[in-house]
Chain A
């Protein structure tokens, strides 16, 4: 690896960041529950 080349470190850092963003966009986020218990005609607001 060209560890003495500053450009190597720049492109490696960019690769890590862009790769992390891609992985983050691939991993599904935690879902909020959609369970509902509304009954039509029974809980009409007063």
Chain B
């Protein structure tokens, strides 16, 4: 079937109904604002990207979590440029809806935008002067009803019949001319994925036509459906029986209670394997880039507070955030590709059965999955959960998933707990992930039975047709998500890093007597140009009798003592000493409390904070000796900082505690208020505190040190 091009002139219409001529019903000028309306899964966003190009903006509708894509009508082969682009009609991509009259957030937003009462953030609310309604050629009967509702609003419009390429392959034929006659406005057959018919659609959008007035009489849902039935019978036909045995077989496997779960596990294992495997390379590059930047700045600027702020505050803080970008980008890219194939809808169907007992729906599985990379995109992905209670329960459960920021802490603690026993380390590592998942599910169950009590909406899920994923759409989605992550998390992390740097630097104190004396010893050794033997052990100086030491070793020891001395007297250090009694039941000493407090905003900061305190250096990842130093670090009373019981307690604490300020901010935004963020913080902190204290006591009772 060839793609049906739009007629340059508005279509002829039946004379019945006393309506005016098409020329009167079309706009005198090119519309300035066009709303794009359509059912979910009709390829609306793919089409929008075709029409608006890659330079469109993504914004939220104010007061909602619904994203709005905004762009200028610049697509097609005769794409405009320069000034023409600026004056091109504004396209507003509305949320996908099955009906405008439904009492759901998406439909409310559509109604408000169409009435001119709401506009995406950054634009002035104004009623669109034309509509682009997208219907699906492979599912025309159901998607036609929305076109009828749109026509009933009386605005000039154009209908795009999308997925004509898929329909053609299935032997389906849609007569766009006949549909145009029935609607009274231009109807263009297109394939947003391949670009067929886009030029014709762009032309038609420059001259949309008001549909027939008879739609004003379609009030009841039954009348709309009856109209859709009659139109469908007239405009759609199948040249061969519509059968898709392969799709049926795939559906049977993907939605099978056992096979489906197994396939889901295999797909997700593969997804994470790819993410962790591939993300390592760009993560290393980013790490090296920020290391180089830090080294360059340190080498360029003279030593002092400004250099320290830039290197230890700004570069280290931003680097600590940006290093997780590859995982986030890969996660969203691969999820977008999977979604494009139609598999994710099947997976959600299967997982729904597993999550229901915990008060979550199948829609929650993508957020929970994403939460294993980072809670921020996980919580943002909860927008796809249609039921409000389910959505908030999902948001509250996501931060329990073990995100990549926890990994450095897990690595440190499992290595300290089981040195030289990788099998047990891996087991403990897996146990951390399992504990997080269990805690998330229990949290959901608890809140769904208390503050979020109420019956869930049954999961009504459309299983879209299997198709090849749209690479362009996946790339654009990934770009949007990456930008949101960098903008939100980057600003917050940068601010927190700088503030923590200041609190951990001031007030400064002069080096202690031991450090001064050691520096003098180092200078003396340097004058001899040789190593010297330690004649007498001086534990306070880190010197052991009979060992040979160089000037550099002595100087490093002096700097380490000075750094620890200084760290205790900073605002953060004093705060640690003050708060230590609170963490006493968990087995934490002053140094650990500083590590916990410093990592309140970002948990991955714990490792570097401990490294700074224990040995006065931050190069934990670059030097295995630092791990030994942490393992041998002593408290003020001479006992190990990381005793076995304390390490178990810390492990449990970091699995369960919030320790991520950006997550709280995103929770407040996505759940619709700071009360949810407060509840999340309170619940997670309390659970972490109680269970970490229990872990500490149990470990002590079992004979751990």
Contacts and interface: CB of A to CB of B under 8 A. Distances in A.
Partners in one complex: yes
A15 B498 contact: yes
A22 B499 contact: yes
Contact of A11 (B64, B101, B309, B669): B309
Given A19-B495, A22-B494, A44 B306 contact: no
Given A36-B108, A38-B111, A38-B112, A45 B117 contact: no
A25 B507 contact: no
B112 A7 contact: no
B82 to A, nearest CB: 33
Interface in B294-318: 304-306, 308-309
Contacts of A38: 111-112, 114-115, 117
Contact of A34 (B101, B109, B309, B495): B109
A45 B117 CA distance: 15
A18 B495 contact: yes
Kindly name the residue among A19, A26, A28 whose own CB sees the greatest number of chain B CB atoms within 10 A. Answer: A26
A44 to B, nearest CB: 4
Interface stretch (B147-155, B200-208, B526-534): B147-155
Contact of A7 (B118, B305, B499, B507): B305
Interface in B84-120: 100-101, 108-109, 111-112, 114-115, 117-118
A31 B309 contact: no
B690 interface: no
A33 B111 CA distance: 14
A37 to B, nearest CB: 8
Contacts of B374: none
B183 to A, nearest CB: 16
A14 to B, nearest CB: 7
* Central interface residue in A8, A33, A41, by most chain B CB within 10 Å: A41
Interface in B152-209: 152-155
Contacts of B149: 40
Contacts of B306: 7, 10-11
A32 B63 contact: yes
A31 to B, nearest CB: 4
Contact of A40 (B100, B501, B506, B668): B100
Contact of B112 (A2, A15, A36): A36
Interface in B347-395: none
Contacts of A40: 100-101, 111, 149, 152-153
A1 B506 contact: yes
Contacts of A22: 491-492, 494-496, 499
For chain B, the bracket of interface size reads: 35 or more
Contacts of B114: 38
B152 A44 contact: yes
B62 interface: yes
B661 interface: yes
Contacts of A10: 305-306
Nearest to B115: A38
Nearest to B674: A28
A32 B309 CA distance: 39
A40 B62 CA distance: 22
A38 B664 CA distance: 35
B66 to A, nearest CB: 10
B216 interface: yes
A33 B499 CA distance: 35
B625 interface: no
Interface residues of A, number: 29
A25 B668 contact: no
A44 B114 CA distance: 11
A41 B100 CA distance: 11
Nearest to A36: B112
Contacts of A32: 62-63
B8 interface: no
Specify which of A1, A10, A12, A25 lies most central, judged by the most chain B CB atoms within 10 Å of its CB: A25
A20 to B, nearest CB: 8
A34 B665 contact: no
Contacts of B304: 5, 7
A7 to B, nearest CB: 4
A28 B216 CA distance: 41
B497 to A, nearest CB: 9
Q: Of residues B101, B117, B308, which shows the largest number of chain A Cβ atoms within 10 Å of its Cβ? A: B117
B61 interface: yes
B577 interface: no
Nearest to A29: B62
B61 A34 contact: yes
Contacts of A25: 488, 491-492, 495, 665
Contacts of A23: 495
A38 B103 CA distance: 12
B219 A11 contact: no
B100 A21 contact: no
Nearest to A9: B305
Contacts of B492: 22, 25-26
B152 A36 contact: no
A40 to B, nearest CB: 5
User: Which of B149, B304, B668 has the largest number of chain A CB atoms within 10 A?
Assistant: B304
Interface string B229-269: 00000000000000000000000000000000000000000
A12 B153 CA distance: 58
A44 B61 CA distance: 24
Nearest to B601: A22
B218 interface: yes
Contacts of B661: 26
Given A7-B304, A11-B308, A34-B63, 14 more contacts: A1-B506, A18-B495, A21-B491, A21-B495, A22-B492, A22-B496, A26-B665, A28-B669, A31-B63, A34-B62, A34-B109, A36-B117, A38-B115, A40-B111
6 closest A-B pairs by beta carbon, nearest first, are A22-B495, A31-B63, A36-B112, A7-B305, A38-B115, A15-B502
Interface of A: 1-2, 5, 7-8, 10-12, 14-15, 18-19, 21-23, 25-26, 28, 31-34, 36, 38, 40-41, 43-45
21 contacts: A2-B506, A5-B305, A7-B306, A11-B306, A11-B309, A15-B499, A19-B498, A21-B495, A22-B494, A22-B495, A25-B488, A26-B492, A28-B674, A32-B62, A36-B108, A36-B111, A36-B115, A36-B118, A40-B152, A40-B153, A45-B155
